[in-house]
Structure formats: structure tokens, C-alpha cells
């Protein structure tokens, strides 16, 4: 491998040399050779864990009901559901005609329902491919056609196709290089879809007439401002196709009557910098959830016939973050969060007092499930907690009763009473109280001796609400505590919690996480030598930052597809996602203060000759969100600047941001990471 000359860049009078910039060329044989050598090194360094990895994989497999079926959901005259089959990697998407007066979902033992129609079998589509993912999946309102899109590489560019559900035939229509999402016209003759620009930004909406060549498709909308992403969807009422245009700070929504797909889209409200809003159609009005003078959002409405001024419906209430509104013929449902917990509030459309749906556990996550019917007297809900497996409820609106339809099976003698969950609060450097969710096996000692994994994310207002995990049981049953740090930059405590962890306040995310780690140790849950940190993507940035900031607080750091070279990435507007990210991180290209601030916390830029904890970085060669180069360069510089450390890199050579696509392959990857984690605790033989 030839000696490489470092790349040099100069911004705002600052000169930076990057000795590993050459790794950005994926077509260079030396780059592939480097990644393959790293994979071989990692495999050799972890070969003593092969038996444990197989044990962990088998534990996951043994606890999982491999042949299973989701709770059917009613749409028109069909029950829709998906199912899995033992030994098969991917789900099978199905429907079954509803019987006369069949109001409750049909019972099932996990196998096919009588009269089943297979709409799409992921295993058949994936045959012969190392990777497979679905992008769009949309059944036309008349139930005759299915639009779906596939990705066989992992780069999130999809080929869109149409299937005739009445004959089972695949139509000739085929549209390459599309983005997520698609929306049908009311009569199912026309399909709206998205394409991306060179930076992988969805920016165009197209109209396709079924049965015609895609080069005859009509451009309906194009967004030239590189800060904005575009989405498209059909409203639940099936009255309008909505085109959602949004940056990190600003929104605009356009509508097209679904019964008149060739009509020009009309704007519901002109974009105003800093004003975010989302739209739902409800009868004669558009509902508008917005933050205009309402930090935690308020709900208003405007005329569907002639959108104009917004009329207040639910006023802003500080501390109650309204996240979304779902419209049904006779009621509205607000998804919200308060005091760090998710919630659902029902608003009867004909008036009457709004009411919240209550749940008994102190820590949980609840949200609306699939509710495609506009006229309904029940709601499908999803519920989980750190100790309660994923549960599906139907909420009967007239009686206000919760009906448990299904709780995810956990085989092998699992009993939730064997585990306990807690809410802790750490105190950050500036006095902010940071919530931590903790789960462990009942009776784990609080004397600092227990090993612990602490997970964090802290970006994009994404909330890491409590969730149940079958693979996590392999940790808990070995005496490991699992904690989630709900740090600033996320949305757990409302919009202010997010704002205080972005742009020039981003370092709060990292110091919050360190405060949580210190709290877990000082309160007896664990000790620094028994604590492993884990995070992915923007949470991988967190991992790299805290490795530099407080290496003494951790025994190991597991970073999945980590965004550890943000300065290089955010300086390059030609890279995927960069320009759209400037409102999250700052624009270091034009703003000297933003440049200096990002450089001051960038993991790659701040590696120093100190003792680091053991580090495992996971990457995907075809990742378009966090380019494989970032973790690759990070590990290389760690070895050069801080030699003697235990640094490993594992790159999936045929996958993207989400890792392996098949469920068994994903379980094996999780077993690999869990085995490495247990090894940090000296539990590799357990």
C-alpha cells in the first residue's frame, strides 16, 4: 500500500491535515483492502468469543417465536397483517377478506389465516441478494393495487413497482432510484412518489399514471432549497395527497385533492423561518399542529376549502409537548409527552371533555399503532416498557376500555416479575436534572459491583423512550444492568430539552451523558470499570465525544455507525444530508463560530495521547447517512495517536446504515456486540 499524502484544508484561517482522507475513495482497491484487513483483525481479536456468540444467538432465537403473525388491522373489506416463518429472514405481508359483521380481529396461532392472500413475500424478493429492504408499501384505496419499492444494496435508493392484487401479476411499471414513501390517488389510477438529489435529499414529487412508462411521469413539485426535505402521503380520510416540505426549523405543506390527481398543489400555509407545522385532514378543515408562539406546540385548524388564518383548538401548554395529531371521523387523538413520558389524549369531535388514556406502569412507552380506517369507534395502540414485551391494544372509545389483543411472546420461561425498572435522575454540570431509565434482574446488588450498559442518543429531538428487547435479556440474566440516559438534544422533556442540546449548546449532550455515567456509579448501580457505553449514528458521535471527554468513566465503548468526523462531513455540502443538517449542528462552512465549536468536540479532531477504554466501532460500506469513512478514520487515528488501546472496527461490506437486513443476520450481529460487551465485564464464559 503506497504512502499517502495527508489532505489539507483551510477554513476561517485554520489549517487541518487529514492523513486518512484517502479512505473516502470506495473505488480504491487499497480502501477495500484496508477494510478487509480491519475485519480480519477484529475477527482474530474476538475469536475467543466465537462460542459465546453462538450461545447468545441461540438464546435470542430460542426466546423468539419464529413463526408468528401480527394482530390483523381492518381496512375496508380486508384484514391486513404480516407474519414470519421459522427459518425465513423476512416478513410476509398478507390480507384476508373480512367476514360479515366481523368487527374484532380474527384469532390466530401464528400460522396463515384461512382465505389468506399474500400481497408480498420478502423472502421471495430477497432471494439471491445479500441485502434487502422495503421502502414504500402502499395499497390503493380501492384495494386493487400495491405499490412497493425495494433496495438490494443498502444505500436507500429504491426501485418502485406495482402489483395487481386481484390477479397477483406484477405490472410492467418500474421506476428506479426512488425514495421512501408513495401515495395513491383516490381511484388508484395515479401514484405519487419521490426522488432524491445527488446528496440523497428527497426533493421532487412525481406523478405516475399506472400502465405508462416512467419517463413520461410528470414533475409535480420540486424543492430547490437544500435545507428542505420532501415527503408525500395520502390522508387517512383519503381526500387529499399532502406534500410535506420541512427543514430542521421550518415547514410548508401543500395539498392535492386525491380525486383530482392532475390538479395543481395548493399551499396550506406559506413557510415562515422558524415555524414548524404538520397537517391532518378532518372533514371541512385541516388540522394544524404548530409551534408559532408555542414552544411545545399547539393545535389549530383552517378551512380545507380555502386555507387561511389558523383558529386555535388546543392552546399551548408549556411542558406538554404535542408531537402529532391523528384525525378520525368522530374524534381526534393527540400524541404527547409530559414529565418524560409519552401519552395519548382523545378529543371528541362533537365536543365534550378531552381525556387521557391511562396506564399503570411508572415507566412506559405508548403510541398509536396502525389505524387506517377514518370511521372507527376503536383505536389500535402499541405499548411497551423495559419489562413488558411489545403489546397491542384496542381501545374502545364508547366504553373507554383497553382490550389486550396480543403481547409479544417471549419463550423460555420469561416472567416480567423477575425484572425491575427504575427512574433515576442525574444532575448535569449546569444543574439540569437528566432522567435515566434503568432495568435489571430483580435483586441485582446496589453496591457498585454490577456491570452496566448505558445507552444514549441525544440528537434531532429523538426520544429514547423505554422499550423491551429480547436480546437484552441475555445481558440482564447475566446480572448486567441496562440504563438509558435521556440526555439533552433528545425530546424527552419537550422542545427546550432539544434546543439545549443542539447547535452551540451541543456539548450539553455529552456532559449530560457523562453526568449520567457518574451518577450510575455514585448511586451504586455500577462502577466505572464495570460500565460500557453504547450508541449509534448521532449516538455514535456521543460515544466518540465522551471517549475523549471522560475516558475514565467507562470500561468500553460500543459505537454503531458512528458520526465521529462531523467537521469533515458538515463542511462538504456535496455529501448526503450535509446542508439539511446545518440547522442541527451549525454551518461551519460560512460561520467561523460554528466551525470552531464543532471542531472543539469532534471525536476525530480531538483524539489525544491518553488512555482510552476498549472501543468497538460497527460500520456499513453502503451507508449513506454516516459514511463508512468516519469510523474507519477514527479507529486508524486512535491507533496512531493513542497506541496500546483495544480498538476494533467491523464493517458490513454489503449493508448500509441499519446493518444486516435479515432477522437472523441481525441477531448474529447483536450476538457479536453482546459478546464483546460481556467480555469487557469478564463474563465471556457466562
Beta strand 331-338 with 341-348 is antiparallel
CATH fold for domain 133-275: Methylamine Dehydrogenase; Chain H (2.130.10)
Mark out the alpha helices in 65-220 (DSSP H runs): 122-126
pLDDT mean over 21-30:
94
pLDDT tens-place string over residues 644-673 = 899 999 999 988 777 888 899 999 999 999
Architecture of domain 7-61+413-680: 3-Layer(aba) Sandwich (3.40)
Q: Which of 80-94, 102-116, 298-312, 398-412 has the lowest mean pLDDT?
A: 102-116
Predicted local distance difference test score (pLDDT) of residue 480: 98
Q: Hey, what's the torsion of the CAs at 663, 669, 673, 679, to 10 degrees?
A: 110
Q: Give ranges for CATH 2.130.10.120 in the chain.
A: 133-275
Q: What is the helix, strand, coil percentage profile of the chain, to 5?
A: 20, 35, 45
Predicted local distance difference test score (pLDDT) of residue 4: 83
Q: Which of 32-41, 220-229, 620-629 has the lowest mean pLDDT?
A: 620-629
Predicted local distance difference test score (pLDDT) of residue 3: 65
Residues of the chain with pLDDT > 90: what percent?
Answer: 92
- Band (623; pLDDT cuts 50, 70, 90): confident
pLDDT mean over 349-358:
90
pLDDT mean over 207-229:
97
**Residues taking part in catalysis:** 537, 623, 657
Hey, how many other C-beta atoms are within 10 angstroms of the C-beta on 656? 24
How many whole angstroms separate alpha carbon 178 and alpha carbon 3? 40
pLDDT tens-place string over residues 443-481 = 999 999 999 999 999 999 999 999 999 999 999 999 999
> For residue 686, is pLDDT > 70?
no
Predicted local distance difference test score (pLDDT) of residue 5: 83
Q: Give ranges for CATH 3.40.50.1820 in the chain.
A: 7-61+413-680
> For residue 110, is pLDDT > 80?
no
User: Helix or strand or coil: residue 596?
Assistant: helix
pLDDT tens-place string over residues 187-198 = 999 999 999 998
Residues of the chain with pLDDT > 70: what percent?
Answer: 99
Predicted local distance difference test score (pLDDT) of residue 351: 81
pLDDT tens-place string over residues 54-63 = 999 999 999 9
The conformation of residue 99, written as its DSSP 8-state character, comes to P
Mean pLDDT of the chain, nearest integer: 95
> For residue 438, is pLDDT > 60?
yes
Predicted local distance difference test score (pLDDT) of residue 1: 53
Predicted local distance difference test score (pLDDT) of residue 2: 56
pLDDT mean over 416-439:
97
Q: Are 602 and 565 in contact (CB under 8 A)?
A: yes
How many whole angstroms separate alpha carbon 152 and alpha carbon 541? 28
Amino acid at each position: 500500500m503506497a504512502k499517502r499524502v495527508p489532505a489539507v484544508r483551510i477554513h476561517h484561517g485554520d489549517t487541518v491535515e487529514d492523513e486518512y482522507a484517502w479512505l473516502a475513495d470506495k473505488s480504491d482497491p487499497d480502501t477495500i483492502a484496508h477494510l478487509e484487513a480491519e475485519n480480519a483483525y477484529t475477527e482474530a481479536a474476538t475469536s475467543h468469543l466465537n462460542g459465546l456468540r453462538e450461545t447468545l444467538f441461540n438464546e435470542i432465537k430460542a426466546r423468539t417465536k419464529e413463526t408468528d403473525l401480527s394482530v390483523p388491522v381492518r381496512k375496508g373489506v380486508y384484514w391486513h397483517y404480516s407474519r414470519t416463518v421459522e427459518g425465513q429472514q423476512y416478513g410476509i405481508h398478507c390480507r384476508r377478506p373480512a367476514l360479515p359483521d366481523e368487527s374484532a380481529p380474527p384469532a390466530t396461532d401464528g400460522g396463515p389465516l384461512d382465505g389468506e392472500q399474500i400481497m408480498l413475500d420478502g423472502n421471495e424478493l430477497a432471494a439471491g441478494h445479500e441485502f434487502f429492504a422495503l421502502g414504500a408499501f402502499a395499497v390503493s384505496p380501492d384495494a386493487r393495487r400495491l405499490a412497493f419499492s425495494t433496495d438490494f444494496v443498502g444505500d436507500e435508493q429504491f426501485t418502485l413497482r406495482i402489483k395487481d392484487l386481484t390477479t397477483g401479476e406484477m405490472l410492467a411499471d418500474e421506476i428506479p432510484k426512488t425514495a421512501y414513501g408513495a401515495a395513491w390517488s383516490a381511484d388508484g389510477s395515479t401514484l405519487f412518489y419521490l426522488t432524491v438529489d445527488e446528496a440523497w435529499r428527497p426533493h421532487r414529487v412525481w406523478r405516475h399514471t399506472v400502465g405508462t412508462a416512467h419517463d413520461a411521469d410528470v414533475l409535480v413539485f420540486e424543492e430547490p432549497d437544500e435545507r428542505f426535505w420532501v415527503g408525500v402521503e395520502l390522508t387517512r380520510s383519503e381526500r387529499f395527497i399532502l406534500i410535506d416540505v420541512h427543514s430542521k426549523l421550518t415547514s410548508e405543506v401543500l395539498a392535492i385533492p386525491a380525486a383530482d390527481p392532475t390538479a395543481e398543489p395548493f399551499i396550506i400555509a406559506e413557510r415562515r423561518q422558524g415555524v414548524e407545522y404538520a397537517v391532518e385532514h378532518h372533514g371541512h378543515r385541516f388540522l394544524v399542529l404548530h409551534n408559532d408562539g408555542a414552544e411545545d406546540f399547539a393545535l389549530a385548524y383552517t378551512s380545507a376549502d380555502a386555507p387561511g388564518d389558523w383558529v386555535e383548538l388546543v392552546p399551548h401548554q408549556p411542558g406538554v409537548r404535542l408531537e402529532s395529531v391523528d384525525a378520525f371521523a368522530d374524534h381526534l387523538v393527540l400524541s404527547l409527552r409530559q414529565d418524560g413520558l409519552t401519552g395519548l389524549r382523545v378529543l371528541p369531535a362533537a365536543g365534550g371533555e378531552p381525556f387521557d388514556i391511562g396506564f399503570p406502569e411508572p415507566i412506559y412507552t405508548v403510541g398509536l399503532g396502525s389505524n387506517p380506517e377514518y370511521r372507527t369507534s376503536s383505536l389500535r395502540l402499541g405499548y411497551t416498557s423495559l419489562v413488558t414485551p411489545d403489546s397491542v391494544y384496542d381501545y374502545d372509545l364508547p366504553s373507554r376500555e383497553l382490550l389486550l389483543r396480543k403481547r409479544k411472546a417471549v419463550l423460555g420461561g420469561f416472567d416480567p416479575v423477575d425484572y425491575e425498572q427504575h427512574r433515576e435522575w442525574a444532575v448535569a454540570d449546569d444543574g439540569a436534572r437528566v432522567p435515566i431509565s434503568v432495568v435489571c434482574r430483580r435483586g441485582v446488588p446496589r453496591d457498585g459491583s454490577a456491570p452496566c450498559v448505558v445507552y444514549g442518543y441525544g440528537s434531532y429531538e429523538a426520544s429514547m423512550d423505554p422499550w423491551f428487547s429480547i436480546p437484552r435479556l441475555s445481558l440482564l440474566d447475566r446480572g448486567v444492568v441496562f440504563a438509558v440516559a435521556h440526555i439533552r438534544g433528545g425530546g424527552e422533556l419537550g422542545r427546550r430539552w432539544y434546543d439545549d442540546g443542539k447547535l452551540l449548546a451541543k456539548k450539553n449532550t455529552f456532559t449530560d451523558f457523562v453526568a449520567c455515567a457518574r451518577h450510575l456509579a455514585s448511586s451504586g448501580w455500577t462502577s466505572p470499570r464495570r460500565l460500557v457505553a453504547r450508541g449509534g449514528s448521532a449516538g455514535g458521535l456521543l460515544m466518540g465525544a465522551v471517549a475523549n471527554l471522560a475516558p475514565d468513566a467507562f470500561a468500553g465503548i460500543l459505537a454503531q455507525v458512528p458520526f465521529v468526523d462531523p467537521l469533515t462531513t458538515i463542511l462538504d455540502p456535496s455529501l448526503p444530508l450535509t446542508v439539511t443538517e446545518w440547522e442541527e449542528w451549525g454551518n461551519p462552512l460560512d460561520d467561523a463560530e460554528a466551525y470552531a465549536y464543532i471542531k472543539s468536540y469532534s471525536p476525530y479532531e480531538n483524539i489525544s495521547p491518553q488512555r482510552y477504554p476498549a472501543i468497538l466501532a460497527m460500520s456499513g460500506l453502503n451507508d449513506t447517512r454516516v459514511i463508512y469513512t468516519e469510523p474507519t478514520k477514527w479507529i486508524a487515528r486512535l491507533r496512531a495517536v493513542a497506541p496500546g488501546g483495544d480498538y476494533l472496527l467491523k464493517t458490513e461490506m454489503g449493508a448500509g446504515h441499519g446493518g444486516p437486513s435479515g432477522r437472523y443476520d441481525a441477531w448474529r450481529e447483536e450476538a457479536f456486540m453482546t459478546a464483546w460487551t460481556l467480555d469487557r465485564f469478564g463474563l465471556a464464559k457466562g
